[in-house]
């Protein structure tokens, strides 16, 4: 089960980037008005089986926190998409999934193929 950590401030994004030096951090950018985003969130929550020491899960309501969402795109040099799952390792975005390619299985596959994270 996912233990979401709310991402609601620019300072929180910077703290997440620092935290990612110790543990990979996944940011789920969610639009509360989008059916595809709802489906992606539900799929993540149904299949998430990562211990917190393996991957920490952050939730960003991009409609409520648009400046934070914009900062995430700028800080990690990724184009904005919604829904979107970003994997942050050592302060960098190393993987990005959007729309229906967002799944715990895709994240698990990526982590298994890239042990350096």
Q: Is 64 helix (H, G, I), strand (E, B) or coil?
A: coil
From residue 14, alpha-carbon distances to 8, 21, 45, 62 in Å are 11, 12, 25, 17
Stated pTM of the model: 0.95
From residue 90, alpha-carbon distances to 21, 22, 59 in Å are 4, 7, 19
Does 53 or 74 have the greater pLDDT score?
74
- Cα separation, 75 vs 17, whole angstroms: 9
> In this model, does residue 115 exceed pLDDT 80?
no
Ordered structural domains, the chain, with CATH: 5-113 (3.40.30.10)
Are the C-beta atoms of residues 80 and 49 closer than 8 Å to each other? no
68-98 per-position pLDDT tens digit: 999 999 999 999 889 999 999 999 999 999 9
């Amino acid at each position: 089960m996912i233990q979401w950590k709310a991402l609601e401030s620019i300072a929180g994004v910077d703290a997440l980037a620092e935290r990612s030096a110790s543990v990979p951090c996944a940011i789920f950018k969610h639009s509360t008005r989008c059916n595809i985003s709802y489906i992606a969130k539900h799929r993540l929550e149904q299949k998430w089986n990562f211990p917190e020491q393996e991957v920490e899960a952050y939730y960003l309501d991009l409609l409520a926190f648009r400046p934070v969402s914009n900062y995430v795109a700028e800080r990690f040099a990724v184009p904005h998409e919604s829904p979107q799952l970003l994997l942050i390792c050592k302060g960098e975005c190393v993987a990005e999934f959007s729309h229906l390619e967002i799944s715990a299985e895709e994240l698990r596959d990526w982590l298994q193929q890239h042990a350096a994270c």
